[in-house]
Amino acid sequence: MFQLISTIIAVVLVAVDQIIKNWAAETLIKGDIAVIENVLYLKYAENTGVAFSMFSDNRWILIGVTSIMLIAVLAFFLSGKVTEKLEIFSLSLLLSGGVGNLIDRISLGYVIDYIDVRIINFAIFNFADICICIGAFLLCVAVYLSDKKEKEEKIAKENALKEIDSDLEKLFGGENNE
């Protein structure tokens, strides 16, 4: 059930991303909007690369790599092997952000970016990028928590076996009891 809800959320996030990008293309093309003067602006930008415009003008390579990554995430998402809610939700964020940017890259040849943080010298980004970053962060947290839980369960099993061995030794008087 949670996977279905996360899938619906992912679809909604892709739609929100596309709506915002369409608004940015129509509105911000006319000029920047200061949200917080000298700190945060909305500014129209076309990014033919990935983060910080790396790999610019490699549209088809980026489409291919992104598609392969999205197929892998989707396969993992649908495999049934992912059962933790945090992992499921993080994968849905990764999918929604990746699909949102892939739609742009395929249909336009570039990704529309519009969030410009000027208080630091940072790349202009978009809602899909935020989904990807939060999804990646949450996936790291989920993997860490899962590993921690597995280690705790392993230690608990080892302690339970030691306790059983101790109880058996007390009951039967040790190994040399005949």
Would residue 116 show up in a list of annotated catalytic residues for this protein?
no
Would residue 129 show up in a list of annotated catalytic residues for this protein?
yes
Pairing of strands 111-117, 33-36: unpaired
The single residue of 17, 104, 116, 129 carrying the catalytic annotation is 129
133: nearest Cα among 106, 171, 101, 169 = 101
Burial class (CB in 10 A: 0-12, 13-18, 19+), 157: exposed
The single residue of 17, 104, 113, 116 carrying the catalytic annotation is 113
Residue 53 CB contacts under 8 Å (≥ 6 apart), including other chains: 47, 123
Gap between the Cα atoms of 79 and 166, Å rounded: 42
Backbone torsions φ then ψ of 111, nearest 5 degrees: -105, 135
Active site residues per annotation: 113, 129
